[in-house]
Structure formats: structure tokens, C-alpha cells
Structure 1
Amino acid sequence: MLDLLSKYGKIEKVHENTYFVEVSADKVREISEILHWKLGGRFSVTVGSDERPINGYFRVYHVFLMDEQKLSIIVHVKINPAIPKLPSITPIIPGANWHEREVHDFFGIVFEDHPNLERLILPYDWPEKVYPLRKDVSIRELRNKLLKEENEGVEKREAEEKYVVPIGPYHPALHEPEYFELYVEGEKIVDAKYRGFHVHRGIEKVAEERLTINQIPFIAERICGICGYTHNVAYCQAVENAAGIDVPLRAKYIRSILLEIERVHSHLLWFGVLFHFLGFDTGFMMTWLIREKIMDLAEVLTGNRKNYGLNLIGGVRRDINFEKIEFSLKTLDYVETKARRILDKMLKLKEVISRTKNIGLLYRNEAKKLSVVGPVARASGIDTDVRKYHPYAAYSEVEFKVPVYDEGDVYSRALVRYDEIFESINMLRQLLKNIPKGNIMADEIKISEYKKGLGLTEAPRGENAHLVITGRDNKIYRWKPRAPSYNNIPSTLVMLKGENLADAPAIIASIDPCFSCTDHLVIVDIKGNIKRRIRLKELARRRHC
């Protein structure tokens, strides 16, 4: 493979099994098609970078994961700032759609032949030709410019007799903003649209401009409110890989232990949400009761139920002693027994099966096109798991199976998570019983400037990808975190088409989306052109009322 790639451009090995391939713009689409479709790889993420202060160019990185070969291939192209254009890969890999639109939003790079190069993250009233992640745009300048335009808008409205105050697309008291629009004929969904990114926190800009390398793990852990530790680990691994830091094996075991604890509590939470949407609140309460024991275990090991704050570049802050290991093993015995008893009963209920089997179908070829990850991919017949095929932390030290199902429906996504709960418990026992003696921090930590690193983790929702470029003065020059829901959410639009309206809550929930609990959507009756706003909880009840 490397011989083939060398025909397209210069290859640089940055760390174990990770290669950067620099290609010209006219070759980027061809090499992307080869990696994703012909060599069996997977498109993962596109990253933009303003490297004009370093070398005078913008740069775009397309990350591909070759699971069979256990390689990470990053195709990158330098772009002339005077003509910031690059051929789009979306026509051949539809899953790159959002990624390229985001780079266009933040850097002003135009992807030629992109089917829909509209704004994705920036709001409709964002100032034209202001690209927030360019290095010549500071946080202070952004704030001053946006405040000025906001004040000018207020002055203009004050001259009017009245104006509309929009409230939505979400209620201020609800969980997280998102907007689904379902087009229906009767009770049948014929089309769907999604609009997210109503709250963009700008963590990349904050991290690159204001935080030190060892402060970023704290903000990385807050990317997700349920499984933030996996982002913390992905970022740390990206920096460690860039700098060539050898993390002690004991620290890797501790990281893996907490990652699997996070997976178990996240999957139990998901089952509770699924049962709730299906109207089985007994299952919801029972799974969340079991989850409390896992949350207690996290608190015993780290001092916190959530946001552990355990990692530093080069290792971990705190060790695990013998008493905590014994407590962990006893807790796992309890959780395994209780979870298996409850989930076995719930998943065999005919009411659950009828609401999830052959519902929300995503076939393998469509899943490949959209580059979905995690349980969504594995439920559609794609055998992928970063822990197995791109092992990190201590995952090369344990034995486990990757559950894969071919049906591509909501029930298969549930079965994948069911299997993963008990695989995780099995892995936790191996890690706890075999944790080696030794240090928990690397002896020597030296981080040179402008080194590139990729950090991958298998979060409960799928693979996280963090790409970093180190900077000067203990800073990061570029940090791009990509969460799994970013790749998975577009697939819901495929899953929803042709399904009954009452099944929409379970279908949307089946990807375990990172916008918390999806509370509202808009239903459009295309015959009468009538719009109705409804809560997913109310919609779910329609099937069994």
C-alpha cells in the first residue's frame, strides 16, 4: 500500500502505523477514492489548518483509517491563500459533506464541485468573509466585531414599532438544541431534514489561543456530557504521538479501565432512554438503577462520577490500589448479573421487538457512503473498532470480540450495545487482574514545535479522532476534535425515510446522538403544507396508545 501511495506524493511516518501523504490538489479525489473504496479503508475526518505563519499556506487533511492493515493514512494538500480552492471529495464519499462545509465555514476554503457548500456551523447572520479559525483572527477581534454588529442591529430595530422575538428551535429549559423537520404523508415519513450547531462553543479557538497543552484535557473532557473521558484520552494520545512520549504501561491500563467503565455506563444510559421512548419506563428505571453502581465505581477510582480530570500528557495523575481493584471486581459481578437479567427480559418482549426490528434500516453500502462509526456501523455489517484495529492504551493486552450484525435496524444497534456491555465487563476484569506494577507518568516529556499527531479512541458512540499540531511556548498550534455523532447524525435522515411517524423517536435515539435527549421536532404534512411542533416523547406514545 505504501508503495502505491508513494506514487501520489511524499510519505512521512509521524508515529507508529500513522503516515502523512502530501499530494497535489488534482490528485486528492483520486487517492481518496482508492483509500475509501478500493483498498477497504474508511474516511474519518477532514481537518483545515491555517499554516500561513509557518509555511505561507493553508492546508487540508483528510484522515482515512485502514482497519485491515491497521494503518492511519492522512492525505494532506497545501493550498495557496490567494486562491483557496480544492476539489471536493464529497461526490465520491458523501460522508465528507459536513466536514468540508465546516472547513469552508472556518477557513474560507472553497471545495469545488461540492453538492451543497452552504453554511453548516456559522449562523446565518455571521459577518461575511470572517473566518474564525484563521490565525489572523483573534478571539478579542471576533468578540468586538460581533458585539458591534449586534448593537447596530438593536439600534435599527429600536426605530421600528415592533419586531419578532424568536424562541427556538428549542425551549430554554430543555436539554440541548437541535432541529429535525419530518415531511409526512399521513403517518408515513417521506423526507427529513436536520439542523444542528445552534450552540457552537468555539473550543478549538479557545484552546489554540489561550490554553496550555496540559490545560486542554480539561476542556476536551467537557466535549461530551456523558463520555467526555474518551475525548480527554484521544487528545492526550495525539500530543503523545506527536512528541514521541512513551506512556508507562500501568498508566495505559488505568486509562483503559476508565474508558470501559465509561462505555458501560453510557450504554446502560442508552438502553434506559430507548425503553423510555418505547413507553417501557420500568426498563428505563431498572437500567439506570444498575448504572448508578458504575457511576459509584467511577467515583471510587477517580473522585468524580463524571469529568475525572485524571490525565496528563505522559500518563495519569492518580494510581489505583489493591482495595479499589477488589471493590471494582465485586461491583462488576453485581452489574453483570443485574444487567443481563433485565436486558435479556426487555429485549425479548414482543412489544420491544415490534418497535425496533426492521425499523430505521441502514444498509451496509449506505453506511459505508456516509462513513458512520461505532455501533451504528457495526449494526450495518461493518466490522470496525479502533480498540481492535488501531489499538491504543492497553487494548493490545486484552482479548475481546467485536460484535457485528448485518440487519442494520434499531434492534441490531441495541444488540451491538448489549454485547459490548458484557465484553467491556470482561475486559475490565482482565485489566484489573493483570495491571502491571510501575510508574504512572513518563520520565521525560519534551514536546517540540510543529509536530503532528493523531489520537484515536473508540467512544461508546464510535470512534473519536483528534488531530493536533504542536506549537511554541507550551501551546497547541492546531487542535481538531471530531466526535462520533458528527459522522452518525446524517445517517438518521436515511433511516427515517419510509418509516412510520411514531417510530421516529426510537430511530433517532438508536444512533445515541450527542445532542443529549432530542426533545422536539417539526412535522410537515406535505399535502396540506401544515407544520406542527411536537415532543418526541409524545410522538412515541402514538404507537401504543
Structure 2
Amino acid sequence: MVNFWIRKVEDLSKEELLEIIDRELKGLVTDKYVPTNNFVIYFAEREKIPAITEKLMEFSYTRLSVIAGNDERYYMNKLSLTYIIAFDKQDLYIGIRTYLPFYDPVAPSITDMVKAAWWNERENRDLFGIEFSGLKDKRKLVLPEYWPDNVHPWRKDYPYNKPVMDWREGLPDYTPVRERKDVDVIGFGPYHMVNDEPIHWRLYVKGEVIVDAEHRGFHNWRGIEKIAEGRLTYNQIPFIAERICGICGFTHATAYVQAIESLAGIDIPDRARYIRSLMLEIERIESHLLWIGIACHILGFDTGFMLSWKTREHIMHLAEVLTGNRKTYGMDIVGGVRRDVLGDRINKAIDTVKKIRAEYKELYNMLINNTILVKRTRGVGVLPREKAISYGVVGPVARGAGLDIDVRKDHPYAAYKELSFNVPVYSEGDVLAITLVRLDEVFESLDLIEQILDKLPKGPIMAEVKEIPA
């Protein structure tokens, strides 16, 4: 097991930290490539991955962000894995890349060291056919259990429109990883109002205490990535990316266009950056108020549910005024945004923020002083800080477990580097702490929207985009 965060480096500059990393990885890596000023890729043989991971995760404020698989048959005639580790206080990402031959696509598992790898390794096993020696849980994660073992849909030789089998051939039962006779087992989902997509949970319960749980998602997995790769143009992809999630879709579209802009060296206009941040904060408020309302409902406080969603309607209406849609805004394209935010709409946004703040203050005070809500969330579902680090959690869950991280501050994008806001952090790690983070963040998002509207630069909303290199 890794000794997480035992080396305090959060006060070092990016350059100082990179010098240390270079020294630490000497003899473990074979080469180095710097694609951008905040992303460094080291190349290594697969057997060195555990040792490299252990060294890097000892530095403070690091987390395993993702293990990105790729089929590089047209470049290297191999599969690749890139272990991307974020250094959140230096705005730095370190990638460790290893190549695997098609005849022996096996890499050592690091799940026993870093729990965040468990999901990533199973995902790459499903989609690329990469095996991980030492991985104990070899059930399918993304693909259904009836999917053939030798068919891997993210490999380049798998066409996006190829059917695998007729679903009417029958679906087998879900195979639990643990059969326990000492507890009661409760099936939860796949359809329930608190699920933002079909998810099945097996809850292991003793009395009123949940002692264990299993998760099975991806019931609606549609292979959007494969469709994007095989069929769509650069500027068609943002529209389908935004439909990955009905709640946080704009974040997906923004992540995609920013990746393409970074690779192609496209600097988008300042006004477009600010409009992206505006829509991201509108989406954050919409998402948080939805979450707060559902939380109130399942805790038996339907007054909070109705008031939260009543307030949410104002931000949904504002999104429609600005973009033409309550959701799936359709604003992002490579090089900027599709619609400007003009004078009368700016005034509408300012008035809406004032209305929401007035309503939300009353709701906030009602919720934090509600005995039922507090008692049913305090001390429940505690995620200790150490486990939060190992599992690589982010967002309100991380901040509710005492981790002072926020991608908008630590790895600023769009206009966030020029904006000022606080990051609410609570140390208890329970459901109450996570709820308080979300409650506080609504106020921060309202403040951010006002800053954006006040500072909104003049000028174009699209850069001149020439041919994007393949």
C-alpha cells in the first residue's frame, strides 16, 4: 500500500517539482515528452509502473486521475496505457505511458496500491482487452455480462456500427461479487428517482446500517466515443458529448473542445472564455439545486424538495433565455461559442441572480436548521480523508472529506483564472458535510455569475480556426 502524501510539496513551484520528479524517476523511465506547459509524459516499461506510481503518490495533493487506454496500431502497432496523475497545487499532470504488444496485452495491476485504479483497470479490460495481472475483480464493468470476451469495442478494428448480438437472446442475471448470508440484501435500482441514470445497487444491510454495497452501472452504455471516432466531425462531437449526461452535459462538451483547442494550438477569444464559465456556473447551480431537492425528498422533507426545485426553475429559464434550451445548451464549438450574450440578456441574468439569491437564502437557512435533515445525515456514510485520497475522489465528495481541491482553481480553464471565489471544505466526510459543500457552492456560483457579467470582455466569440491536424 502506498504511503499517500507523506512528502509535502504543495508549496513548491511547478519547475521545482518537475526537477524532483526527474531525479526520482531516473532509472525507471526511458524517455520524456512535454506536449503542453502543464502536461509531461514519461515513457516506461510496464513492469516499472507500480514503482513509479508508488513514488508519485507519496507527493502531497496528488491523485490518479485516469488510466487512459489507446489502440495505437497505426503508429506503434501496439496498445498503450497512460497513467495520468494530477498534482493539484501546481496545475500539473504527469503521464506515465507504457506500450503493450497485441499478442501480450498485460500490465501489472496497481489496484491494491491505489484504489482509484480498480475502475480504470476494469474499464480498459472491457474496452481494449488489456489484462491486469493481480486484478482480483474481473467482472465486466462497462459491457454487459453476455458480451463476448474476445470483442473489445474501443479497438480500431471494431466498426462503430457493428452489432454484437441480438438483445432478445436473453440477459443473464447480475452476478454479485460477494454472497453474504450474515446480512439482508436489498436490490436498489436500476430505476429510481435518485439515480441520474439506470444503476443497480446491492445493499448489504444489518438492521438499519448499510455494511457493504455493490454497484452495476452502464445499463444505457451507447458507445458514444466510438460513434464520435468513426462518424462525426470535430464540431458535431460537442453536441453528442453534451448528451452524455442530462445534468452536467455542458462540462463534457467543454472538456472536449478544450482538448481539441489545446492540441491544435487554438487560442479562443476572451469573451468566449467568459461565456463558457457563465454557462458552466449556470449548470452548476441547476445541478446542485436538483441534488439538494432530491436529497430532501429521500430524507422525508418534501418542503425542501419543492422549494429547491422552485428556485431551480429560475436558473433553468435563464439558460433557455441565453441559449434557447433549458438543458443541452449547444453553445460549445471548437474555437469558441455559438451564441453571444447581449445587453438585454445580461440584464435578465443579473435580475435572475438577485431573485435566486433572495429565495435561496431562505431555503439555505431552513435546511441547515432542519433537525430531521441534520440528524439523518450527520455521521452517516463517512468517507475518511485517507480513503478519499486512495480512491481519487473529486468534487463535493472530496471537499466534504477534507480535501481542498477544485479543478477550477487548481487547473484553471475558461475564465476561472481571472475570477475570485472560495472553495468550501468540510472535514467530517459524512453525508452532512457533502451536503453543506453543495449548499455553500450555490452562493459561490451566484457570485461568480455576477463577476463574469461585470467583467465580460468585448470582442468576438469565435477564433479563426484553420484546418485542424488529424
TM-score calculated relative to the size of structure 2: 0.88
Question: How many matched pairs?
Answer: 432
2:332 to 300, 308, 311: 311
Q: Percent identity?
A: 46
Q: CA deviation at 1:9?
A: 3.6
Distance 2:210 2:427 in 1: 24
What are the superposed Cα offsets for residues 346-396 of structure 1, whole Å, 9 maximum, x if unpaired? 221111111111111111001111111100000000111110010000001
In structure 1, the residue matched to 2:453 is: 432
Match status 1:146 vs 2:165: yes
Match of 2:284, SS state, is helix
The answer to whether the 8 Å contact 1:178/1:197 transfers is yes
In structure 2, the residue matched to 1:457 is: none
Match of 2:313, SS state, is helix
Distance 1:409 1:56 in 2: 47
Match of 2:247, SS state, is coil
The answer to whether the 8 Å contact 1:111/1:117 transfers is no
The answer to whether the 8 Å contact 1:314/1:445 transfers is no
In structure 1, the residue matched to 2:200 is: 179
1:119-198 equivalence runs, <5 A: 119-140=140-161, 142-143=162-163, 145-147=164-166, 153=169, 170=190, 176-198=197-219
In structure 2, the residue matched to 1:281 is: 302
In structure 1, the residue matched to 2:177 is: none
In structure 1, the residue matched to 2:361 is: 340
In structure 2, the residue matched to 1:68 is: 89
In structure 2, the residue matched to 1:56 is: 77
Match of 1:103, SS state, is helix
The answer to whether the 8 Å contact 1:15/1:244 transfers is no
In structure 1, the residue matched to 2:115 is: 94
Match status 1:416 vs 2:432: no
The answer to whether the 8 Å contact 2:315/2:352 transfers is yes
1:106-505 equivalence runs, <5 A: 106-140=127-161, 142-143=162-163, 145-147=164-166, 153=169, 170=190, 176-449=197-470
Match of 1:94, SS state, is coil
What are the superposed Cα offsets for residues 485-521 of structure 1, whole Å, 9 maximum, x if unpaired? xxxxxxxxxxxxxxxxxxxxxxxxxxxxxxxxxxxxx
Q: RMSD between aligned alpha carbons?
A: 1.9
Higher RCO (CA < 8 A, seq sep 6+)? 1
Distance 1:317 1:330 in 2: 24
Distance 2:190 2:383 in 1: 28
The answer to whether the 8 Å contact 1:35/1:42 transfers is no
Q: CA deviation at 1:137?
A: 1.3
The answer to whether the 8 Å contact 2:346/2:453 transfers is yes
Distance 2:212 2:450 in 1: 46
Distance 1:55 1:346 in 2: 57
Q: CA deviation at 1:443?
A: 2.0
User: Are the structure 2 counterparts of residues 219 and 444 from structure 1 closer, same or farther at C-alpha, using a change threshold of 3 Å?
Assistant: closer
Q: CA deviation at 1:189?
A: 2.6
User: Are the structure 2 counterparts of residues 81 and 263 from structure 1 closer, same or farther at C-alpha, using a change threshold of 3 Å?
Assistant: same
Distance 1:38 1:250 in 2: 37
Match of 2:74, SS state, is helix
Q: CA deviation at 1:260?
A: 0.3
The answer to whether the 8 Å contact 2:191/2:199 transfers is no
In structure 2, the residue matched to 1:488 is: none
The answer to whether the 8 Å contact 2:189/2:201 transfers is no
Match of 2:116, SS state, is helix
Match of 1:335, SS state, is helix
In structure 2, the residue matched to 1:484 is: none
In terms of mean alpha carbon deviation, does 171-180 or 269-278 score higher? 171-180
Unaligned regions of 5+ residues in structure 1, if any?
A: 155-167, 450-545
Distance 1:380 1:175 in 2: 23
Distance 2:259 2:43 in 1: 20
User: Are the structure 2 counterparts of residues 420 and 71 from structure 1 closer, same or farther at C-alpha, using a change threshold of 3 Å?
Assistant: same
Match of 1:98, SS state, is helix
In structure 1, the residue matched to 2:19 is: 3
In structure 1, the residue matched to 2:8 is: none
Distance 1:191 1:414 in 2: 22
Q: CA deviation at 1:217?
A: 0.2
What are the superposed Cα offsets for residues 20-72 of structure 1, whole Å, 9 maximum, x if unpaired? 22222122112222222334311111111101122211001111110111101
Read off the aligned partner of 1:266 and give its amino acid letter: S
User: Are the structure 2 counterparts of residues 242 and 192 from structure 1 closer, same or farther at C-alpha, using a change threshold of 3 Å?
Assistant: same
Unaligned regions of 5+ residues in structure 2, if any?
A: 1-16, 171-187
4+ residue stretches of structure 1 with deviation over 6 A? 172-175
TM-score calculated relative to the size of structure 1: 0.76
Read off the aligned partner of 2:165 and give its amino acid letter: L
